[in-house]
Structure 1
Amino acid sequence: MEEHKKLQNKKMNIVVLGGGESGVGAAFLAKKKGLDVFLSDRGSIRDQYKKILQDHAIDFEEENHDEDRILAADWVIKSPGIPKKAEIVGKINQRGIRLSSELEFAYHFTEAKIIAVTGSNGKTTTTSLIYHILKNDGYNVGLGGNIGRSFAYQVATENYDYYVLEVSSFQLDDIQNFRPYISLLLNLSQDHLDQYNYNYEEYALAKFRIAENQENDDYFIYNKDDEMSQRLLQSLEINAKMLPFSMKERQEQGGYSVGNELVVKLKEQFRMKVSDLSLVGNHNVANSLAASIAGKLLNISNESIRNSLMTFQAVPHRLEQVAVIDGVKYINDSKATNVNAAYYALESVKYPAIWIVGGVDKGNDYAEIESLVKKKVRAIVCLGLDNEKIVQFFQNKKDLIFETSSMEECVRLCKNIAQSGDTVLLAPCCSSFDLFTSYEDRGDQFKKYVLEQIEYKAD
């Protein structure tokens, strides 16, 4: 790539903001490519990441931002967890310094074909499913982005022909040239609005940036049933070949599901019974459709795609069944960090639910889920430092609302109020950073305290 050559020819001064998976991956790649690199984190850096920085002699600071050094950069790589409105980000923009995501940075150092997946819900599942389809067919493929090992770290250490990347709006905010061969926009719902001026369209347009650099020999897979996507597509110019999928109507080209059949129509046709899919729920039929279209674009056989869709195991923290104790089913959907995701989770529950909800509110509108909560939920258990918004919204709609401020307390309360035949569902609607380090930490703690009930019984 031309920019890659420019980077190598000029000793660029790279500054990385954020010392987590994304930031350390970017710093490691910069160091490997012989660029001057400095990493700065206003918080503390976890030991596992500090060791990588120290082992590779990467200059870094923690619990501080040396503004003079940061603002002397030629190129700043920003971790997606740092808000756009952060003071240091404003100063970087004022200076006119190039500001990019790790996604953009790593893109310049690989010739691999990229399949990039975004959307409000289902990103992790669909990304993992496409990776499974490719891996199962013998492709030399990496899995990264917002999942697993950072894209940049893999570009530095591996030599994959393909990457399947889960891509967030925060990563797409800071791209300039990132161009996937196949992009997927699964759906849109109101999420992260606190970072987009509480403007749904602004957030949705950030998602559409996944296709902005694509050309007519690339592909854009999108959801024909999604109202916001359809509205924005009327005014957006997409250069890639557009392929829709639908759960409502047959498509001449793309994919659809009618009755008990999943159908993909491209050069050749792929058909499969929905009942044969390993994943359950309508939203996962849509995810499987999108993944199947990507598989067919990469010339994977019908037989191989069918086998992959039948053998795929759901990812952790996504409708993950933890245990059944005394007739009560415990389900971990910690990744349900917005209202729409929680809607899918509640929709999939067949029995009365004890619903665990709460955390850092992102501008949620609980009216979207109100009717389903009335129908499916027997008790609401709030889990967060500030549960006021949830309590106020549901207090006249549900008799049983409880507040907890730790996972141990939450699971103990759920055990006491659950009855045989109930489902205890962790689908928080919110991000996790008030009480937990990540949604994974929240889900892992849920599983830990649920499984301790079994050990306690055994004793």
Structure 2
Amino acid sequence: MKAAVIGLGVEGKKALNSLLKYGWEVYATDLNVNINLDNLPISLSSVDISPQNDKISFVKDNLSIDLGFNNQEKIDSCDAVVLSPSIWGSKIAEHYKNSGKLLCDVKTKHRDIFTIGVTGTNGKTTTVSMIKEILENAGKNVLVGGNAGGGFEGYYDLILEADKQDYDFLLVEVCDMTVGFCNHCFDFDLIALTNMGNDHMDVHGSMEGYKNSLKEFFADKIIFINNNQEYKEEFRELSRLAIEYSKTDYDLDLFGKFNKLNAGLSEAITNFISENTFEIDEKIIKNTLKNFKPVEGRLEVLKLNDCEIYIGKSDNSDAIKAILEEVDFAAVFIGTPRHNENHRLDILNEVVNANPEAIILFPGLEDTLDQAKFRLHALDYQGRIEIANNLDEIIGFVAEFSHNPSILIGGNGQENIIKIQDRLKEICDSFNHKENRLLFED
């Protein structure tokens, strides 16, 4: 079968790779010529390239890409169309939605699976992973994915995979910017809201705008909301059923009150399933949550010398604030956001309010170090400001502060934070092994 991928943003690229993986012929297009082709299965040395003015075409095997223009004839000849969620609501999206040619309307087996959507600003990936482990430990076959920013292959991979195998449950991490898209693509039996925070305001415009998009998403659905959630009554009024949750009482192998809430949400959802769909032994829920380990890239605590190193993605001001409220840090390392994401620099406002001895900036999603330094000076931060341009320099600063009680490494740039995590784990394991060997010899 042939598919057209319109828009080569993060989700578009993920969809392209998924389609090729499942044996589709793909035509991909983007009006922007300056597309980063990393993570696509092409090498410029092994494809036919046809540049013409501000247009570029690539052809290799069962993949063809046009940049700078759309070939409508090629799109129309395809069996299915894949749209980037970022253009949902546009005229072109309405056209293909009404045509019935969207991939989610061509391949529909995913809509027959019991589907749980988890949305919100923070905690989505952890909550989805907790629910997945509980259901799998109860013997169910679970398909998980969704928001590419959560580290998954993307929404379209779920649709394609569901068409190939039988699953008992489908868990979808729903980015707060894509709720309209997901509402069309998936048939949600349950929807969970982790929280609402200060992120993606460039898209929502305001918290009021964010709330309104969620209200459309929640309409006539069974929803799970925090018992302290703002707009709780508005969400309750338009839902079919609103179930409140709070922090779990179970002891967790995770840091933070926010993870207690993630676990409480997972507990509430699986209890609901146990009461209404199939019985899950309470011991399975309890043991799964008590033994749950941090998701890669999310907050975990490492120990080096006298120091506890808190490290994990915390890419908006609400996420970082939740951590800073629980621990005093001698030094805070912050990965910087993209150039067009000034709202994410609000992270630095929270860090300055916590007033650590030092703030170390490193390139997270992009090198916006100068913007971050400017923000710190504008906030009149009086502490020490350092720049770590690469992994070795970051490790050097960690070593310097490793005799303090605690330091935090967070901010933007999940991939870079995972690299730092991995390096620090190697160092901590080596150091602790050496220390234990010396203790044994003594």
TM-score with structure 1 length normalisation? 0.72
The corresponding residue for 2:266 is: 291
The corresponding residue for 1:4 is: none
What is the correspondence of 1:55-70 to structure 2 with a 5 Å cutoff?
Answer: 58-61=62-65, 65-69=69-73
The corresponding residue for 1:192 is: 200
Instruction: Tell me the alpha carbon deviations over residues 153-172 of structure 1, each in whole angstroms, 9 at most, x when there is no partner.
Output: 42133211211121112332
What is the correspondence of 1:420-435 to structure 2 with a 5 Å cutoff?
Answer: 420-428=403-411, 430=412, 432=413
Are positions 1:413 and 2:412 aligned together?
no
Instruction: Tell me the alpha carbon deviations over residues 290-333 of structure 1, each in whole angstroms, 9 at most, x when there is no partner.
Output: 11111011112322211211121111111123x43332333321
In structure 2, the CA distance between the partners of 1:337 and 1:351, relative to structure 1 (3 Å rule), is closer
In structure 2, the CA distance between the partners of 1:362 and 1:451, relative to structure 1 (3 Å rule), is same
Count of residue correspondences = 388
User: Does the 8 Å CA contact 1:40/1:65 hold for their aligned counterparts?
Assistant: yes
Local SS of the residue matching 2:163: helix
Are positions 1:346 and 2:324 aligned together?
yes
Are positions 1:24 and 2:26 aligned together?
no
Q: Distance in 1 between matches of 2:402 and 2:397?
A: 12
In structure 2, the CA distance between the partners of 1:376 and 1:288, relative to structure 1 (3 Å rule), is farther
The corresponding residue for 2:109 is: 109
In structure 2, the CA distance between the partners of 1:419 and 1:101, relative to structure 1 (3 Å rule), is farther
Are positions 1:378 and 2:357 aligned together?
yes
Are positions 1:445 and 2:437 aligned together?
no
Query: Can you give the 5+ residue segments of structure 1 that lack an aligned partner in the other structure?
Result: 1-10, 51-55, 246-255, 263-272, 433-438
Local SS of the residue matching 1:174: helix
In structure 2, the CA distance between the partners of 1:49 and 1:167, relative to structure 1 (3 Å rule), is farther
Q: Distance in 2 between matches of 1:359 and 1:365?
A: 6
Q: Distance in 1 between matches of 2:262 and 2:101?
A: 26
Q: Residue 70 of structure 2 aligns to which amino acid in structure 1?
A: D
TM-score with structure 2 length normalisation? 0.74
Post-superposition offset of 1:445: 2.2
Are positions 1:92 and 2:92 aligned together?
yes
In structure 2, the CA distance between the partners of 1:165 and 1:101, relative to structure 1 (3 Å rule), is farther
Instruction: Tell me the alpha carbon deviations over residues 367-424 of structure 1, each in whole angstroms, 9 at most, x when there is no partner.
Output: 68746644362211122322344333433133212234333333333433x1512433
Local SS of the residue matching 1:187: coil
User: Does the 8 Å CA contact 1:278/1:310 hold for their aligned counterparts?
Assistant: yes
Post-superposition offset of 1:102: 8.8
Local SS of the residue matching 1:169: coil
The corresponding residue for 1:79 is: 84
Q: Distance in 2 between matches of 1:374 and 1:45?
A: 38
Q: Distance in 2 between matches of 1:49 and 1:136?
A: 39
Q: Residue 155 of structure 1 aligns to which amino acid in structure 2?
A: A
User: Does the 8 Å CA contact 1:79/1:102 hold for their aligned counterparts?
Assistant: no
Which of 379, 384, 404 in structure 2 is aligned with 1:400? Answer: 384
User: Does the 8 Å CA contact 2:410/2:417 hold for their aligned counterparts?
Assistant: no
> More deviation in 311-320 or 18-27?
18-27
RMSD: 3.8
Q: Distance in 2 between matches of 1:177 and 1:393?
A: 40
Instruction: Tell me the alpha carbon deviations over residues 78-119 of structure 1, each in whole angstroms, 9 at most, x when there is no partner.
Output: 234xx449xxx96735x8333999995587232111011011
Post-superposition offset of 1:220: 0.8
User: Does the 8 Å CA contact 2:80/2:102 hold for their aligned counterparts?
Assistant: no
Are positions 1:225 and 2:228 aligned together?
yes
Post-superposition offset of 1:211: 2.6
The corresponding residue for 1:178 is: 186
Q: Distance in 2 between matches of 1:452 and 1:306?
A: 31
Query: Can you give the 5+ residue segments of structure 2 that lack an aligned partner in the other structure?
Result: 44-59, 275-279, 435-442
Local SS of the residue matching 1:98: helix
